[in-house]
């Protein structure tokens, strides 16, 4: 079982604020992913990284940005939060094709 | 790209009975098929996976079957218990492209 952590677990914030969602893993996995999950349950890939200094956009367009300066760390940033960003954000990591998920961050933008 | 369909979207089963969730995929190159269980307020947890070189895999009360010809795979849970209540997701990917394509999820409720 992979150890992957996300902070904060819950965040309520006002429109226009800048936020950073943290994701870290202790497995030394090269690949990391960010998913957005709405109440309708479906998971949508918004960003992924195959290693340090590598980031790509996923299948679902997102106004968020990511960085990968260290192997274990893959933060997601929203420069100006809006109510439409309200969702659950899930981080995952993998060594090969098996992905392990963190507990998620539930974001509410007022 | 890959497309994964999952059925049913909701499933209620009497405790002790079996539950079956089915997924179909479109890309014949897909060769890895994991199943995840997501409980309320938690991230998805891998419960079982299968690769295309086998047709069936079992782990205690959970089994997955794969039919490559028909391009579908199924999750079977036997002797269901209340703690099996959760949302289950299937997914597919192929070697060299480790992005998973997920199904739309099945909300399983075990009735005591």
Q: Could you report the per-residue pLDDT of A8-44, keeping only the tens digit for each?
A: 999 999 999 999 999 999 999 999 999 999 876 889 9
Q: Could B34 and A94 be called an inter-chain contact, meaning their C-beta atoms sit closer than 8 Å?
A: no
Q: Percent of chain A at pLDDT above 70? A: 97
Q: Is the confidence at residue B109, as pLDDT, over 60?
A: yes
Q: Could A96 and B99 be called an inter-chain contact, meaning their C-beta atoms sit closer than 8 Å?
A: no
Residues 6+ apart with CB under 8 A from A100: A1, A2, A4, A25, A27, A29, A92, A93, A94, B46
Lowest mean pLDDT among A59-63, B37-41, B60-64, B94-98: B94-98
Of A48, A99, A103, the CB nearest to B42: A103
Of A6, A58, A100, the CB nearest to B46: A100
Residue A46 half-sphere exposure toward CB, CA atoms < 13 A: 25
**In the prediction, which pLDDT does A39 show?**
76
Q: Could A96 and B43 be called an inter-chain contact, meaning their C-beta atoms sit closer than 8 Å?
A: no
- What pLDDT band is residue A59 in, cutting at 50, 70 and 90? confident
Taken as a whole, chain A contains a residue count of: 110
Give the 3-state secondary structure of residue A83.
Answer: helix
CA distance B32 to chain A (A): 8
Q: Could A97 and B45 be called an inter-chain contact, meaning their C-beta atoms sit closer than 8 Å?
A: no
- What pLDDT band is residue B112 in, cutting at 50, 70 and 90? very high
Average pLDDT over residues A91-109: 94
Average pLDDT over residues B70-80: 97
Average pLDDT over residues B80-106: 92
């Amino acid at each position: 079982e992979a150890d992957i952590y996300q902070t904060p677990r819950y965040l309520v914030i006002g429109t226009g604020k800048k936020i950073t969602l943290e994701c870290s893993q202790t497995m030394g996995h090269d690949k990391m992913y960010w998913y957005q999950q709405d109440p309708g349950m479906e998971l949508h890939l918004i960003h992924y990284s195959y290693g340090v200094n590598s980031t790509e956009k996923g299948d679902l367009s997102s106004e968020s940005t990511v960085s990968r300066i260290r192997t274990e760390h893959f933060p997601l940033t929203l420069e100006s939060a809006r109510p439409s960003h309200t969702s659950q954000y899930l981080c995952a990591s993998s060594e090969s094709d098996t992905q392990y998920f963190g507990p998620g961050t539930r974001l509410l933008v007022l | 790209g890959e497309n994964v369909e999952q059925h049913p979207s909701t499933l209620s089963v009497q405790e002790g009975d079996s539950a079956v969730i089915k997924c179909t995929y479109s890309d014949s190159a897909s060769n890895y098929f994991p199943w995840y269980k997501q409980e309320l307020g938690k991230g998805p947890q891998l419960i079982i996976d299968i690769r295309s070189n086998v047709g069936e895999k079992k782990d205690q009360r959970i089994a997955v079957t794969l039919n490559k010809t028909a391009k579908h795979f199924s999750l079977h849970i036997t002797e269901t218990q209340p703690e099996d209540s959760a949302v289950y997701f299937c997914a597919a990917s192929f070697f060299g492209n480790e992005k998973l394509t997920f199904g739309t999820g099945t909300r399983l409720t075990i009735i005591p």
